[in-house]
Structure 1
Amino acid sequence: MKLFRILDPFTLTLISVVLLASLFPARGGFVPFFEGLTTAAIALLFFMHGAKLSREAIVAGGSHWRLHLWVMCSTFVIFPVLGVLFAWWAPVNVDPALYTGFLYLCILPATVQSAIAFTSMAGGNVAAAVCSASASSLLGIFLSPLLVGLVMNMHGAEGNLDQVGKIMLQLLLPFVLGHLSRPWTGAFVAKHKKWIGKTDQTSILLVVYSAFSEAVVNGIWNKVGVGSLLFIVVVSLVLLAIIIAINVFAARSFGFSKADEITIVFCGSKKSLANGIPMANILFPTSVIGMMVLPLMIFHQLQLMICSVLARRYQRQTQELQAQEKARAAKA
């Protein structure tokens, strides 16, 4: 029961969908139906994201450029370098698709909601977190497909620059159209944030079901055993520990405040499941998506659990610091 209290409701739903696809995979005429439904849901998802993000939010935060620059460096430079080195090293004999999955994970943009929520909980610079997380998500639409074409081709994985145009058409075009529609749709989107969140989650669940249905038909569970799952968990924990340590060290070395350090840690160590799974659905053959997104799905849950603990620790430190400042002020 403790495990179910740790896992968030969406993760439990995600696990349920994987089990559903494992027991009742889509076959025959249902395959094109789910593919079409998934494509429409993803287009709607990015349309809504475009309508939700204001012009001010896109251009805001320029005054804190050092913080944003480091978060972008952590997300799109340090993470991919670690992924390339790990895929090149390949220390354990597992399915090569898992190494490709970790490499793919490392080139994705950061999350938005959880990065901001953890920053707020820990007492960090929330305004900077909003700007950095939003900028990462927006830039990821451009940079992640390019990195797939460049970095993953270097590793010999499937993915090429021709597919960048495809992902721009299926993700960027709906995003731009959504943003341009803000004068007419902005108020509706702001009023129905919960509904937008459901659209976000539904599109992910559809992609996961379609991907795992194809993977089950192709025998994924004959390839992924307990040892492979343990491998994913251990590598995810090590990767997360390394990137958090690098961000803490950089924040303190560059003289950022405690609030900014918190923002850097939580915005620079996340990877987006919401962006990653739809992109994978476009960039890679359906037959390999199930295997490739396993590292992302497990890393996503672990980052929430670890960062939740870390946020509470930062929260206590922030409260202690505030109490000390009040005590000094009272003495003065």
Structure 2
Amino acid sequence: MSEPQIIKLTERRPEVAPEDLIDGFVPPPHFSDVSFDSYRPDPQQPSQSEARDKLRDFTQQRRETGFLSKLFGSKPKAGKGIYLDGGYGVGKTHLLAAAWHAHEKPATFGTFVEYTNLIGALGFQRARDELSKMKLVCIDEFELDDPGDTVMMSRLMRELTDAGVKIVATSNTLPGALGQGRFAAQDFLREIQALSAQFAVLTIDGEDYRHRGSPTPPEPVDSAGLDDYAAGTSATTVARDDFDEVLDHLSSVHPSRYSRMLEGIDMALWDDVHTIDSESVALRFVALVDRMYDRGISIHNSGQRLDAVFTDDMVSGGYRKKYLRCLSRLTALASGTEK
């Protein structure tokens, strides 16, 4: 067994040209070959198979662009979106990626944050024009963190559906409840209601499959234990970093580049993991873990156990669902149950 290449994540500073961003809006490697047939619904949760079947039907619909629809000026019915609502680990992202694979192209796939980053890089008009060319837009982890996002995404979804673009989104929050606990949602109720009107909701019940038999991350090891992981792995490339240095590095790399920063890495080893006490730092860390989960990068660490990285106030606060999803994914990556 050849020794892996040991690199430092903190030495990577990827550059991505704005015009290349949209080319990267495809399912990540973790979901590169999923399908509706490979989705395994829990027989005890009929909503899972129902959501799969309805979403499969949705992807098979075609826009009405024939002579009669043009003559009578009717808008395409396919513009109505599907919103997959459910808890963590019930297979929403699997189904979203399956929809992307099954649907006619062009189509895009990305997280909510990646779409807002795209708008920031290209400007609203250009981003809207590029996305309006799509037959399907898939948005994972749909959540609104501030009033500006509420207005911007409401407008974008409205203009895309008016253009006949089909939209599928996933979230842990019903459309009408987006933003609750985060900001004065009542002040933006009209925008939130307009956003909610773009979707038909499919609720998926069930438990987090990532935690079946593995409710907590493994216990941390010492520095020598991390050396053993690096020496004994079959991984090609291992990133080993001090945890504090990783957190500092994230502040100097735009989140839209985190995925590119992780390219080729199979395993991450973190020295001296500890509780993060700054919410802005914690949210950047959440974005990193999301991209690590996309790529199935295994994690081993010294210091504190990974489920102690966020404070109790964070986990019970306005970003609670982000942190709980992150903890779920950290457990999966550290336990080898992310598949």
TM-score of the superposition, structure 1-length normalised?
A: 0.26
Normalized per residue, which structure has more strand? 2
Greater RCO structure (CA 8 Å; 6+ sep): 1
Normalized per residue, which structure has more helix? 1
